Amino acid sequence: MTKTLAFVLYPGITPLDLVGPLQVLSALARIDPSFEVVVVGRDLTPLDTDTPLKLTPSHTFDQVAEPFALIVPGGTEPTLAALADEPLLSWIRSAARTAEVVGSVCTGSLLLGAAGLLEGRPATTHWGFRDLLGRFGATPVAERWVEAGPVLTAAGVSAGLDMALHLVERLAGEQAARTVQLLVEYDPQPPLGGIDWGSTDLDFFRPHARAMLESALADHPALLARLS
Amino acid sequence: MTKTLAFVLYPGITPLDLVGPLQVLSALARIDPSFEVVVVGRDLTPLDTDTPLKLTPSHTFDQVAEPFALIVPGGTEPTLAALADEPLLSWIRSAARTAEVVGSVCTGSLLLGAAGLLEGRPATTHWGFRDLLGRFGATPVAERWVEAGPVLTAAGVSAGLDMALHLVERLAGEQAARTVQLLVEYDPQPPLGGIDWGSTDLDFFRPHARAMLESALADHPALLARLS
């Protein structure tokens, strides 16, 4: 039986959160037809992102009830607003019940948390929102990705690429992971090197994160209070 | 005056080619409002990609005549078919006349070549299509990205991230590049390390590349002969 890898689309996401792992897992599906990739959303309307690009899903939530894996991308204020999107959380909760892999990239893990899936688990997210994970009963971890049973959370935005390659190795073995890595030519050479966390000021982001949360959840005071 | 960074969309692309640098340069536009990002296409219809995701541009070619920069993503067979897409090549050629940056990711550089923009220049592309660059008068180079005057070409798919961060540094300085890198949390940790080119068999791809080219340009025998 074909294993369905379902990417979750909702309004306003950071497209690289979704497209990084989507490209990696689509390459897996090309070399191993026991996997198929779909992008699911409430309907098939093009959705805004935090860039000028619009994204359209391939399937509706109703059409993909029991995926083998689901992967939830994140974003900035619209993702925080989605913490109050009950139909979205309800699909995530229901799909997670039977899925073997429940994944997220960036602040997508906050949606897993809001769906009640991180209780008692280590998890990660974008560095600028990491302390919010504790409000959902998770233990925040500063790693590129974190695996805890079926739940696989990645750090911010580009971390979805590393997480997805790890997932390919887990699902199809090292040789498949090497072939996929070669096909998407993932041989990273950041021009200024990696991030030097020790010498980087992260506090500048705190008021921005706070302002985004307050604006996103202005109509949901109880949830806002829980997260503050 | 606002500097417009224009991403070129056409049918069937590899979405990560576009979304990697789009996310990076959108972060630049957020911290430096002297830049704006647009996605241009023939019209505003959602377009298929080599994944189940559809992408919709924000502007038409007619609306963006003289961008400061253009960046052309690549793909597999549909990009090779686009080598015969005269309206697309014509917009690229015309926009390149006044642009300060003419960029590409992956096989997008073949489109720059078909538009006559690589003559006598070093350039790169996806490793599986590198020898085609010579047919357009370019000197193929095996680097993550190659800068030759205004022309900036990146290697395959994920290489657009590295190229875009280099471009941010060039356009806005090292501090801006470090901030953007932090916002998209680009601190790559490929689970199996980088690609070990010395021990990797690349020849397996040759018949696939050949078959794609023949199928893509079946209706354009003169162009096919030139590229064979």
At A120, the pLDDT band (50, 70, 90 cuts) reads: very high
Q: Is the pLDDT of residue B144 over 90?
A: yes
Amino acid sitting at position B117: L
- Per residue in A124-133, pLDDT (tens digit) is 999 999 999 9
Find the residue in A nearest to B5 (Cα).
A52
- A1: pLDDT strictly greater than 90: no
Q: What is the mean pLDDT of residues A108-121?
A: 98
Domain ranges of chain A: 3-227
Average pLDDT along chain B? 97
Is the Cβ pair A192, B183 closer than 8 Å? no
The amino acid that residue B30 corresponds to is R
Which helix (DSSP H) or strand (DSSP E) does residue B24 occupy?
helix B15-31
* pLDDT tens readout for residues A187-211: 999 999 999 999 999 999 999 999 9
B152-176 pLDDT per residue, tens: 999 999 999 999 999 999 999 999 9
Please say if the pLDDT value at position B33 is more than 90: yes
Q: Given an 8 Å threshold on Cβ–Cβ distance, is A185 in contact with B38?
A: no
pLDDT-based confidence at A110, cuts 50/70/90? very high
Position B195 scores a pLDDT of 97
Helix spans in chain A (H): 15-31, 77-81, 86-98, 108-114, 159-172, 174-183, 206-216, 221-227
CB contact under 8 A, B156 and A185: yes
Write out the H or E segment, with its range, that includes residue A4. strand A3-8
CA gyration radius, chain A? 17
H/E stretch holding B54: strand B54-56
Q: Which of A5, A18, A106, A161 is catalytic?
A: A106
Give the torsion through C-alpha atoms of A55, A61, A66, A69, to 10 deg. Answer: 20
pTM: 0.97
Portion 194-213 of A in contact with B at CB < 8 A: 194-195, 197, 200
Tens-digit pLDDT profile for residues B88-136: 999 999 999 999 999 999 999 999 999 999 999 999 999 999 999 999 9
Is B22 close to A51, i.e. CB distance below 8 A?
yes
Residue A164 confidence (pLDDT): 98
Q: Do A58 and B39 touch (CB under 8 A)?
A: no
On whether any CB of chain A is under 8 Å from the CB of B185, the answer is: yes
At B179 the pLDDT is 97
| Nearest C-alpha neighbor of B82 from the set B220, B182, B193 | B220
- pLDDT band, very low/low/confident/very high, at A157 (cuts 50, 70, 90): very high
Nearest CB among A26, A155, A200 relative to B51 is that of: A26
Residue A185's pLDDT is 97
User: Would you say residue A9 has pLDDT above 90?
Assistant: yes
Q: Across residues A114-136, what is the average pLDDT?
A: 97
B142 CB within 8 Å of a chain A CB: no
Backbone φ and ψ of B42, nearest 5°: -60, -45
Which pLDDT score is estimated for A60? 98
Confidence of residue A33 (pLDDT cuts 50, 70, 90): very high
Q: What is the CA radius of gyration of chain B?
A: 17
Contact indicator for B138, B122 with CB cutoff of 8 Å: yes
Q: What percent of chain B has pLDDT over 70?
A: 100
Task: Please list, in sequence order, all residues whose beta carbon lies within 8 angstroms of the beta carbon of residue B156, skipping any fewer than 6 positions away.
Answer: A183, A184, A185, B74, B106, B125, B126, B127, B128
Which letter does DSSP use for residue B141 in this model?
-
Tell me the nearest-neighbour CA distance from A80 into chain B, angstroms: 17
Per-residue model confidence (pLDDT) at position A196:
95
Among A209, A100, A210, A188, CA closest to A149: A100
Helix then strand then coil, in percent of chain B rounded to 5, is 45, 20, 35
- Closest CA in chain B for residue A158: B186
How many angstroms separate the CA atoms of B145 and B162, rounded? 8
CA distance A190 to chain B (A): 5
CATH class of A3-227: alpha beta
Nearest to A52 by CA among B84, B56, B28, B150: B56
At residue B1, the pLDDT reads 85
Rounded to two decimals, the ipTM of the complex is: 0.97
In whole angstroms, what is the distance from residue A107 CA to residue A93 CA?
17
- Spatial separation of the C-alpha atoms in residues B46 and B44, rounded to whole Å: 7
Q: What DSSP designation does B108 have? A: H
Q: How high is the pLDDT of residue A91?
A: 98
Q: pLDDT band at B61, cuts 50/70/90? A: very high
Share of chain A above pLDDT 90, in %: 99
